[in-house]
């Protein structure tokens, strides 16, 4: 009987050690694309804060969505900055924000777009 308890106890110990690894399987976050530090410079220099609130940047804009209250993926942020805000908004959001962010493709480099998206993502996913 003591052997059974030892075996059962060993199995539980193995499961307990493996549980954290199993919990994260399939629930990984995609790697960050871009440089958040450089993205802050882009955010400030492009005057993103004149339209958007973002606490990390000290920005209190109220024309566009409050970025602190969004849970956007970095891919969605890249798409919005590249192609314009309306491309990632629901019809209700487009109706709410009658002025939408223009596309920055051609205004910012692809690297700058990834950097600013990384900065917003990191700032809103703490």
50 lies in which domain range? 36-124
- When pLDDT is cut at 50, 70 and 90, the band that residue 30 belongs to is confident
Q: For 57-80, what is each residue's pLDDT tens digit?
A: 999 999 999 999 999 999 999 999
Which CATH number does the domain housing residue 45 bear?
1.10.760.10
Number of domains in the chain: 1
Q: What percent of the chain has pLDDT over 90?
A: 71
| pLDDT for the residue 23 | 43
- Minimal CA–CA distance to 38: which of 101, 104, 113, 106? 113
- What is the pTM assigned to this prediction? 0.77
Average model confidence (pLDDT) for the chain?
A: 84
Distance, CA of 72 to CA of 76 (rounded, Å)? 6
Residue found under tokens 């209700």? 92
- Minimal CA–CA distance to 38: which of 115, 113, 104? 115
77 assigned to some structural domain: yes
What's the mean pLDDT in 8-15? 40
5 assigned to some structural domain: no
């Amino acid at each position: 009987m003591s052997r059974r308890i030892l075996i059962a106890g060993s199995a539980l110990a193995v499961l307990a050690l493996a549980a954290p690894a199993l919990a994260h399987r399939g629930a990984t976050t995609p790697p960050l694309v871009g440089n958040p530090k450089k993205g802050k410079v882009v955010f400030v220099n492009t005057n993103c804060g004149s339209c958007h609130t973002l606490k990390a940047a000290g920005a209190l804009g109220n024309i566009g969505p409050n970025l602190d209250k969004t849970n956007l993926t970095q891919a969605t942020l890249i798409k919005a900055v590249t192609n314009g805000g309306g491309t990632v908004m629901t019809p209700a959001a487009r109706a709410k924000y009658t002025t939408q962010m223009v596309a920055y493709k051609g205004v910012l480099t692809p690297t700058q777009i990834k950097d600013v998206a990384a900065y917003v993502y990191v700032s809103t996913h703490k």
